[in-house]
Structure 1
Amino acid sequence: MSNPIHSTSAKSVLPMLAMRGLATGLCAGCVVGLLRLSHDRAAARVALWLEEWREVWWTVPIWFGVLVALAVILRRIVREEPLISGSGIPQTELALAGRLSFTWWRVLLAKFLGSWLALFGGLALGREGPSIQMGGAVGAGFHALWRPAAPHALTGSPYVVAGAVAGLAAAFGAPAAGVLFAFEEMKSRRDTSLIVAACASAIGAHLMIRIVFGMGRILPFAGFEAPPLSSFWIVALEGAVFGVLGVGYNKTLLWLHDREAGQTLIPDRWRALPPLLLAGCLALFAPLLIGGGESLIIFVGEHDVALKTLILLLAFKYLFAQYSTVAAIPGGLLMPILCLGALWGRLWAELPVSALAAHGLASGSVQPYVLFGMVSYFAATVRAPLTGIVLVTEMSGTYTCLPGSLLAGLIACKVANLLHCPPVYDSLKERIRL
């Protein structure tokens, strides 16, 4: 019997794929774990250093000098390896579709360095998209090892899929969401061999992150209480509204990308400088706004925030997150999307929920609506509702909010589809020059 791996018996294929998927997951998890650990430690040191800038003024010119150097280095890296620009998810999907080929070790090294530098500079980018691309590159390396006769034939490669799954699982600490992402967003074929490889890879990455690197949940929100069923009409309405907001995000992002790509005012080698300088200013005056947004999600989820402050945080984070994606800088969209969803969700809860609770018509707790906002905003922009639902649940540990997340996410996705707005990664794929 023939099979897509080798001319071995069908009985031996699945165990072999499971072992290879596990190996891919362990290696990809190690790469992502190193990225997370090294960046978190470096960012913490810089934050402590910049906290005293008013007393130690000379730290400011030094830091901005570092940002100028980062801008030059980032542009050089992207020119040397253009496939690492942006999140990397569209490139991985194109490779799996047979429309793009790459040298796995070049992409892996360049993406690691480029993403690390962009995150270190404080840009509002996530490490999850880069982790998926780096995981896919690790999988491509194993593909070349185990399929030496066709090392560059990556179409539907189970090892590239397994690596991408491991990348998301390790970046978010969400193995089940990683598997779902492969089939819902990346449109991988749904056969037993690929499912086995993906699941084994997710397990390997999760073990690496949890046991070797000792990393726990990104969002420790396990204490959230779900709203009562009598409030679910508000959850459904939130999903519908956030479907529209997600479409707005996609259209704004693509408009900004097209305008920036066509501008001639800033020379190519300095294209990364404006967003980095903006990140430097925010690091001094509003450090909560820099980075992907994990700390900001925790802040709005666990603290009382004045309405005016919430609106300002949302406005600045929205603009900064959009602007950080220009200039082909390596960095992901997923965590900023979740952060914006959390901010919109908290604002949503502050407006109707608080007013209705005062009249006994709804639950007065605002925290669940932060989670529903994350799920529905993700579902509307990425158009992968099941992945978003499971992802937020795994990240936060709030399993009691799962029914509300299902309702909000599915409605948001349906509304976005009715508005005929393509998923964000489909639109970005169309803009990649092959």
Structure 2
Amino acid sequence: MKNFDIITNDREHHSKLVLKGLLVGIIAAFVVVLYRFALSYAEDFSFFIYSFIKDKKYLIPIWFIILILLAFFIGKLIDKEPYISGSGIPQVKGVMGGYIKNRPLSIIINKFIGGTLCIVSGLSLGREGPSVQLGSSVGDIVSKKFKSTRLERRLLISSGATAGLAAAFNAPLSGVLFSLEEIYKYFSPLVLISTITAAVVADFISKQFFGLNPVFNFSTSQAIPLNNYWILLILGICLGIFGAFYNWITLKTQDLYAKLKCSTSIKLMIPFLLAGILGLLFPIVLCGGHAIVEELSLTTTLSLLLLMLVAKFLFSIISFGSGAPGGIFFPLLIIGGTFGAVFGYIAINYLGISPALFNNFIIISMAGYFTAIVRAPITGIILITEMTGSFTHLLSLSVVSIISYIVADLLKSTPIYDSLLKRLLLKNNINEYHSKSTKKIIITNVVHFGSKIEKTYLNNLKLPENTLIVSIKRDEVSIVPKGNTLIKAGDTILTMTDLKNEWKVRELMDSLTTIE
């Protein structure tokens, strides 16, 4: 069976895969830890330089010249390695789906340099998307070193992505759930064991450098009383609308940048020069957003909270829309938290809510806003729980996340990373996987309850040419498929096809085995 790839059910084989996942987690953790340190020093330097030149105004023109040169340099990096542009998560999904080819070592080097220089300049970008891409690239390198099968390669790439998110946020469970909910969109024991191994070891290594303290250290001593849950309904609706608007305006901003008939470097000069202006006038909105978190309190005026919300929102959109190497993950959490601060300020001062609940609104809004944008509610709930180190808000987080999810869905807002992946493929004219290889691959799908393929006989499926279902795994037993085999929910289907048709068949099987 040398003409296609498949992982057998052999336990020894699975054990080796777990060990490879462990190795990926260790390497990815050190790469991401180094990246976190680089961004931390870069952010400190950014605030220092703007404070310094504000006092020595004769240096301002020199700094703006440096910003132009940095924009030019990063533009050349993107021209050299286009897939370092933006967050990195759509690129990972593209590699996983077989849409695009990857140059992992080049990605690691250029993304690391580009992302760090963007934060030095003050752009409103996050570390989490790049960390996911850096980790996935480590997984890709390890898979090639071990000459892994196609399916093993996908598992190791996702393990690296999981480790990257775990190390970036000190949130191992969130990393695993993100892979299951956003990348795979289904549950698989094999995926779970490989990703959780990588996530746990990455989190352990990360904590050796950054300690056990959560990313957000809000002082909250009580949960929202049940008789105040009516306010969460309003908050969830507002976050759902705001999240849908964020997705819409992000894509519109990318459209505006695309209409500019100029080089990548010239486009990048827009957010870089804007960062220079904001650094002198309103520096709190620079970089990821840690500075804003420190100002979110009831003693801050409503006008200042609104100004921070609007300025951070617009600057983040302009920064990310330019294609600069950096993510939206952390900035959108900060925007959501700031929205929660505004909402909490109004609820406390005008609706009679207890002032002790102010920080609760910040925390809950982060999860709700994340869910409305990314459409991964479980990840959002667990992520904020891990980042705050408290289970006090679990029920209220869930309520708001579910409501914001429903509202964004009713508004027909497509999950942001799905939209960005489609645009990535369109931009690179990827409507067909160009390959002359005759190699066969195996695509794995789990049949969901209520999917199109459930309770369907195999001979009723209309599969593309040179595509064949070779095995169905049901209750740990492998079934040899026949025309009269009835497909049931929970079945794991192995589909064999040509490498050149991978993304088409993968897309087809995903649509048949999952529910929208």
- Using the size of structure 2 for normalisation, the TM-score is 0.78
Question: Is residue 2:397 matched to residue 1:405?
Answer: yes
Cα displacement (A) at 1:304: 2.2
Deviation at 1:64? 1.7
> Which of 174, 177, 186 matches 2:174?
177
1:59 and 1:393, CA in 2 relative to 1: closer, same or farther beyond 3 A? farther
Kindly indicate which of the two structures has a greater share of residues assigned to helix.
Answer: 1
Structure 2: distance between partners of 1:225 and 1:344: 21
1:308 corresponds in structure 2 to: 303
Q: CA deviation at 1:120?
A: 1.6
Tell me what 1:99 maps to: 99
Listed as ranges, the matches of 1:54-203 within 5 Å are 54-147=54-147, 153=150, 157-187=154-184, 189-203=186-200
Q: Which has the higher Rg, Structure 1 or Structure 2? A: 2
Structure 2 residue aligned with 1:287? 283
Distance 1:188 1:349 in 2: 34
Q: What secondary structure does 1:390 align onto?
A: helix
The 3-state SS of whatever aligns with 1:98 is: coil
Secondary structure, counterpart of 2:245 in structure 1: helix
Q: Which has the higher contact order (CA 8 A, sep 6+)?
A: 1
Corresponding position of 2:324: 329
Aligned to 1:304, the other structure's residue is in SS state coil
Q: 1:60 to 1:5 in 2, by over 3 A?
A: farther
Give the aligned residue type for 1:322: I
AA in 2 matched with 1:316? A
The gaps in structure 1 that reach 5 residues or longer are: none
Q: 2:243 aligns with which of 241, 246, 251?
A: 246
Q: CA deviation at 1:43?
A: 2.6
Supply the distance in 2 between the matched residues of 1:324 and 1:34 (Cα, whole angstroms). Answer: 23
Distance in 2, Cα, partners of 1:230 & 1:79: 56
1:236 and 2:240 matched: no
Distance 1:241 1:189 in 2: 29
2:411 corresponds in structure 1 to 419
Given the alignment of the two structures, is residue 15 of structure 1 paired with residue 15 of structure 2, yes or no?
yes
Amino acid at match of 2:287: G
Greater per-residue strand proportion: 2
* 8 Å Cα contact 2:42/2:119 also seen in 1: no
2:339 maps to what in 1? 344
Deviation at 1:62, TM superposition (A): 3.0
Per the alignment, residue 381 of structure 1 pairs with: 373
Alpha-carbon distance in structure 2 between the residues aligned to 1:268 and 1:110? 15
CA-atom RMSD in angstroms: 2.2
Letter in 2 for 1:341: G
Q: Which amino acid aligns with 2:389?
A: G
Residue ranges of structure 2 left out of the alignment (5+ in a row):
431-516
Query: Structure 1 residues 65 and 121, CA, compared in 2 at 3 Å: closer, same or farther?
Result: same
Cα–Cα, structure 1 residues 228 and 166, in superposed 2: closer, same or farther, change >3 Å?
A: same
CA contact (8 A) 2:5 2:151 kept: no
TM-score normalised by the chain length of structure 1: 0.92
In 2, Cα distance between the equivalents of 1:142 and 1:355?
57
- Tell me, in whole angstroms, the C-alpha distance in 1 between the residues paired with 2:185 and 2:141: 19
Structure 1 Cα separation of the partners of residues 151 and 120 of structure 2: 32
C-alpha separation in 2, matches of 1:282 and 1:167: 30
